[in-house]
């Protein structure tokens, strides 16, 4: 077999890797470096000359209360939305685990919300929840209940956005939960039954631990998605409402409404650092959980 | 041969199309009645000059975002933008609006333009005689009220018994408060008033301003850009408290009422007095006829201030010099008194031409025109500095919190004044502490 000379071989290798590398640099590395540079400038969305302002953008982020508030709102939103979706989705999956007549139809109907675009869902719910002519309040009035202002009352705004998110994404959790439940081998349950384990004990010792890796993945996916929540907030309450202003909504407000590209980029980097830190903690936890399971299996 | 002739003809037709397209301008404006009217006048301009005019309408909610995103391009999709009065500082200082200082006074008789319209719609900085826009739609907020309720003999008698005076259009905010209280009957689904308190863009700012100014407060010092001591003065706090007090007399959701909420509150027949911009009223007149009357924003201790609305024609710097020349030709044509006479015949189209504003024809054209014309002398505007949007956004949050009752008026204004100063500092308008 003929050997390719060293220098030629190098060129061939670079020929294969080069285009992908160039694409990576153009699409990822360059924007990353450029945006880091932008975060130290007063760049404006509408263009024009910009100048370096040092760490001023970062100083403003830590000085203005609204940036911290948006972070807290987003954290609360992610925590409540993902928890509710996980519990409801897993509950639904348990209820739908057994075979019954019309199961396919029920499953299909339950999946409809997550198949629709978020913006459409948000506009639809905005009408449903309208305090004066929304169908929800008309139903409440018909039943003799008080009619809250769901999307204008400061105490209810975040709850309304949460409600829509939970309605939309619970089916996703249900789907993953169903997959996890179906993946548990039947012989484990049979062995447990022989040991006369109670239903609660089976659930706690077998079902839940064996579903955890997939549920963890679902939580990670949903949490990542909820962290970016924008469409629902934008359509239901707008990007400048402190009660519902998530990180994405604030970024939109800063960059597209105020035109502050430099400030917006700086804020993105602060968020990025936080998200990387949180994701690392979560992944470590997942790894340790998996290690524990493997230990038990051995 | 026949084929060659056909190809030649097709080429000529296509070339004509290209040339016709070159002699045209595109105007961007929000989606509402005056934009439809402008397109009709634009068609007339095309007939006279052969220059095409396309008025591209964008829904109000995304209008600002789309315009400034487009300004981020090397060349804008529009030649003229009819921008909100607050945008002028950003347009002027960021080099987006063409300066018209040398051209405008020669093309448009500025003596015929109402001084408040010239100051706030055309100049930056206001009063500097540096022009970046020409008047298009002059606008103000004003009240529409249930004339039939005010003229009902039983209501009049009941009001006189309770308040010891006649039920009539309020002159002062204190009279306004009494009337709102009188008509507030939630059990009957009847409400006293609906003011501007929405959180989407600037409606809460436009709604609060008349109280801020009438009670002696201000957004800040226009010379030094200092805000503390103006926006959080005792007068400003009293004004906000009064504004907040009126929330007891609104329909459900009245603490977050934007321009469209208010139109609905009046159109559904539930609310006695509603505040909105005049160009939104043709629809109300069409549906409610004589049931609707109009009055000026009331005063407090003889001080009356009215939030300015409206937009001016600004020419994009990011379009070709040829298009800029055509744009100037159109603006000069539109500003002629003869064309303005036609302009004011369209629903919701208002002029800044003082001669027309005081004419009998204008007064007779619609039931709200007289009130509109009388309102112009009291017009005042929000900051129109380049960071106007951040200032509005901060105002929406803090004033909203005060109206929602989550913070006291004084605390809300203190926090707002502090944030406004930080924004001014960041923008380099106020010295950094």
Task: Check CB contact under 8 Å for A238 and B200.
Answer: yes
User: Is residue A67 within 8 Å of residue A267, measured between CB atoms?
Assistant: yes
Confidence of residue B19 (pLDDT cuts 50, 70, 90): very low
**Which residues of chain B neighbour A240 with C-beta distances below 8 Å?**
199-200, 393, 396-397
**pTM for the complete prediction?**
0.84
**Which residues of chain A neighbour B387 with C-beta distances below 8 Å?**
258
More confidently predicted of B244 and A228: B244
Task: Check CB contact under 8 Å for A149 and B252.
Answer: yes
Interface test with A, best of B261, B400, B426 (most A CBs within 10 A): B426
B56 phi, psi to nearest 5 deg: -95, 120
- State how far the Cα of B25 lies from the Cα of B315, in Å rounded to an integer: 11
**Per-domain residue ranges for chain B?**
2-139+309-380, 141-307+384-426
Confidence of residue B20 (pLDDT cuts 50, 70, 90): very low
Task: Check CB contact under 8 Å for B94 and A149.
Answer: no
Q: How far is A42 from chain B (nearest CA, A)?
A: 9
- State how far the Cα of B255 lies from the Cα of B416, in Å rounded to an integer: 19
CA neighbor of B393 nearest in space, from A267, A122, A64: A64
CATH topology of domain B141-307+384-426: D-Maltodextrin-Binding Protein; domain 2 (3.40.190)
- State how far the Cα of B316 lies from the Cα of B132, in Å rounded to an integer: 10
pLDDT value, residue B3: 61
- State how far the Cα of B236 lies from the Cα of A65, in Å rounded to an integer: 23
- Which residue matches tokens 């999946």? A111
User: Is residue B271 within 8 Å of residue B192, measured between CB atoms?
Assistant: yes
Picking from A131, A132, A256, the nearest residue to B69 by CB comes out as A256
Q: How far is A287 from chain B (nearest CA, A)?
A: 43
- State how far the Cα of A169 lies from the Cα of A164, in Å rounded to an integer: 9
Q: Which residues contact A195 (CB under 8 A, 6 or more apart)?
A: none
Provide the residue count of chain B.
433
CA neighbor of B113 nearest in space, from B357, B363, B364, B371: B357
**Which residues of chain B neighbour A49 with C-beta distances below 8 Å?**
none
- Token couple for B93: 């200082």
Interface test with B, best of A134, A259, A264 (most B CBs within 10 A): A259
Interface size, chain A vs chain B, as Cβ–Cβ contacts under 8 Å: 70
Q: Could you report how far apart the first and last alpha carbons of chain B are, in Å?
A: 82
Task: Check CB contact under 8 Å for B253 and A132.
Answer: yes
pLDDT tens per residue across span B313-364? 999 999 999 999 999 999 999 999 999 999 999 999 999 999 999 999 899 9
Pairing between β-strand B80-84 and β-strand B24-30 as defined by DSSP bridges: parallel
Q: Which residues contact B247 (CB under 8 A, 6 or more apart)?
A: B195, B197, B254, B255, B403
A228 phi, psi to nearest 5 deg: -95, 10
Task: Check CB contact under 8 Å for A259 and B90.
Answer: yes
pLDDT tens per residue across span B167-215? 999 999 999 999 999 999 999 999 999 999 998 889 999 999 999 999 9
User: Is residue B192 within 8 Å of residue B386, measured between CB atoms?
Assistant: no
- State how far the Cα of A41 lies from the Cα of A260, in Å rounded to an integer: 10
Write the Ramachandran bin of B269: left for phi over 0, alpha for psi from -120 to 50, otherwise beta: left
Chain A residues 229-258 with a CB less than 8 Å from chain B: 237-238, 240-242, 253, 256-258
- State how far the Cα of A288 lies from the Cα of A285, in Å rounded to an integer: 5
Q: For chain B, state the CA radius of gyration.
A: 24
- State how far the Cα of A230 lies from the Cα of A228, in Å rounded to an integer: 6
- Token couple for B240: 């906000």
Picking from B64, B65, B404, the nearest residue to A154 by CB comes out as B404
User: Is residue A55 within 8 Å of residue B425, measured between CB atoms?
Assistant: no
Picking from A46, A152, A253, the nearest residue to B68 by CB comes out as A46
pLDDT value, residue A2: 61
Instruction: Give, for all 298 residues of chain A, the pLDDT tens digit.
Output: 566 777 788 888 889 999 999 999 999 899 999 999 999 999 998 877 889 999 989 988 888 888 889 999 999 999 999 999 999 999 999 999 988 899 999 999 999 999 999 999 999 999 999 887 889 999 998 999 988 889 888 889 999 999 999 999 999 999 999 999 999 999 999 999 999 999 999 999 999 999 998 998 899 889 988 998 999 999 999 898 889 999 999 999 999 988 999 999 999 998 888 888 888 888 888 888 778 777 766 6
- Classify domain A46-297 by CATH number: 1.10.3720.10
**Which residues of chain B neighbour A38 with C-beta distances below 8 Å?**
none
**Which residues of chain B neighbour A260 with C-beta distances below 8 Å?**
390
Interface test with B, best of A50, A55, A58, A152 (most B CBs within 10 A): A152
- Token couple for A99: 């075979």
- Which residue matches tokens 């993953």? A176
CA neighbor of B220 nearest in space, from B387, B83, B411, B403: B387
- Classify domain B2-139+309-380 by CATH number: 3.40.190.10
pLDDT value, residue B17: 47
A149 in contact with B, Cβ within 8 Å: yes
ipTM of the complex: 0.76
Task: Check CB contact under 8 Å for A44 and B94.
Answer: yes
Torsion angle (degrees, nearest 10) of CA A263, A266, A267, A269:
160
Task: Check CB contact under 8 Å for B400 and A241.
Answer: yes
Q: For chain A, state the CA radius of gyration.
A: 25
Interface test with B, best of A154, A234, A244, A255 (most B CBs within 10 A): A154
Task: Check CB contact under 8 Å for B264 and A132.
Answer: yes
**Which residues of chain B neighbour A152 with C-beta distances below 8 Å?**
253, 255-256
Interface test with B, best of A258, A266, A267 (most B CBs within 10 A): A258
Q: Do domains B2-139+309-380 and B141-307+384-426 have the same CATH topology?
A: yes
User: Is residue A44 within 8 Å of residue B69, measured between CB atoms?
Assistant: no
pLDDT value, residue B18: 46
Confidence of residue B10 (pLDDT cuts 50, 70, 90): low
CA neighbor of B278 nearest in space, from B368, B386, B399: B368
């Amino acid at each position: 077999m003929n050997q390719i000379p060293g220098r030629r071989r190098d060129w061939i290798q670079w020929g294969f890797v080069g285009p992908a590398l160039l694409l990576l640099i153009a699409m990822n590395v360059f924007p990353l470096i450029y945006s880091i540079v932008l975060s130290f400038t007063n760049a404006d969305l509408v263009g024009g000359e910009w100048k370096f302002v040092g760490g001023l953008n970062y100083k403003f982020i830590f000085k203005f209360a609204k940036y911290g508030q948006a972070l807290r709102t987003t954290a609360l939103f992610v925590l409540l939305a993902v928890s509710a979706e996980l519990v409801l989705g897993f509950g639904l999956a348990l209820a739908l685990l057994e075979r019954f007549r019309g199961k396919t139809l029920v499953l299909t109907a339950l999946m409809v919300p997550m198949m629709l675009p978020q913006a459409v869902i948000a506009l639809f719910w905005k009408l449903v929840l309208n305090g004066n002519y929304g169908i929800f309040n008309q139903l409440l009035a018909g039943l003799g209940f008080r009619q809250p202002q769901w999307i204008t009352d400061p105490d209810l705004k975040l709850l309304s956005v949460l409600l829509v998110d939970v309605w939309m994404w619970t089916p996703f959790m249900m789907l993953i939960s169903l997959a996890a439940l179906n993946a548990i081998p039947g012989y484990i349950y049979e062995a447990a039954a022989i040991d006369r384990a109670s239903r609660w004990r089976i659930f706690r010792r077998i079902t839940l631990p064996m579903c955890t890796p997939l549920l963890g993945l679902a939580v990670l996916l949903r949490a990542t998605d909820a962290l970016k929540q924008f469409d629902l907030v934008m359509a239901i309450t707008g990007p400048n409402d402190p009660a519902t202003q998530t990180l994405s909504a604030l970024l939109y407000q800063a960059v597209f409404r105020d035109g502050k590209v430099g400030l917006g980029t700086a804020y993105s980097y602060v968020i990025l650092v936080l998200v990387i830190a949180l994701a690392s903690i979560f992944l470590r936890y997942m790894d340790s959980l998996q290690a524990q399971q493997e230990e038990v299996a051995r | 041969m026949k084929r060659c002739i056909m190809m030649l003809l097709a080429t000529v037709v296509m070339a004509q199309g290209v040339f016709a397209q070159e002699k045209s301008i595109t105007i961007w404006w929000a989606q509402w009645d005056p934009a439809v009217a402008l397109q009709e006048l634009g068609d007339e301009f095309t007939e006279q000059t052969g220059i095409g005019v396309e008025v591209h309408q964008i829904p109000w909610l995304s209008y600002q975002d789309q315009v400034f995103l487009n300004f981020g391009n090397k060349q804008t999709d529009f030649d003229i933008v009819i921008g909100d009065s607050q945008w002028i500082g950003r347009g002027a200082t960021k080099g987006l609006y063409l300066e018209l200082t040398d051209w405008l006074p020669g093309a448009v008789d500025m003596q015929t333009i109402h001084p408040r319209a010239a100051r706030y719609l055309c100049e930056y900085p206001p009063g500097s005689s540096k022009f970046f826009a020409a008047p298009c739609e002059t606008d103000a907020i004003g009240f529409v009220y249930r004339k039939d309720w005010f003229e009902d003999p039983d209501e009049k008698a009941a009001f006189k018994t309770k308040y010891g005076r006649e039920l009539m259009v309020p002159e002062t905010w204190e009279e306004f408060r009494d009337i709102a209280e009188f008509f507030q009957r939630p059990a009957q689904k009847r409400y006293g008033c609906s003011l501007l308190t929405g959180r989407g863009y600037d409606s809460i700012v436009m709604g609060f301003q008349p109280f801020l100014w009438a009670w002696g407060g201000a957004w800040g010092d226009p010379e030094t850009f200092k805000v503390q001591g103006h926006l959080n003065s005792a007068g400003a706090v009293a004004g906000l408290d009064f504004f907040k007090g009126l929330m007891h007399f609104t329909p459900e959701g009245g603490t977050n009422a934007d321009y469209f909420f208010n139109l609905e509150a009046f159109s559904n027949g539930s609310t006695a007095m509603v505040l909105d911009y005049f160009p939104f009223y043709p629809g109300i007149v069409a549906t409610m006829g004589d049931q609707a009357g109009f009055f000026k924003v009331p005063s407090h201790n003889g001080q009356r201030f009215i939030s300015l609305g409206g937009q001016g024609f600004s020419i994009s710097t990011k379009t070709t010099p040829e298009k800029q020349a055509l744009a100037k030709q159109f603006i000069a044509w539109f500003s002629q008194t003869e064309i303005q006479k036609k302009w004011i015949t369209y629903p919701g189209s208002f002029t800044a031409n003082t001669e027309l504003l005081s004419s009998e024809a204008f007064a007779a054209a619609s039931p709200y025109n007289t009130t509109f014309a009388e309102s112009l002398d009291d017009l005042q505007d929000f900051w129109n500095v380049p960071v106007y949007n951040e200032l509005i956004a901060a105002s929406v949050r803090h004033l909203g919190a005060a109206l929602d009752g989550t913070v006291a008026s004084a605390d809300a204004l203190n926090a707002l004044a502090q944030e406004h100063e930080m924004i001014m500092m960041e923008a380099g308008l106020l010295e950094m502490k």
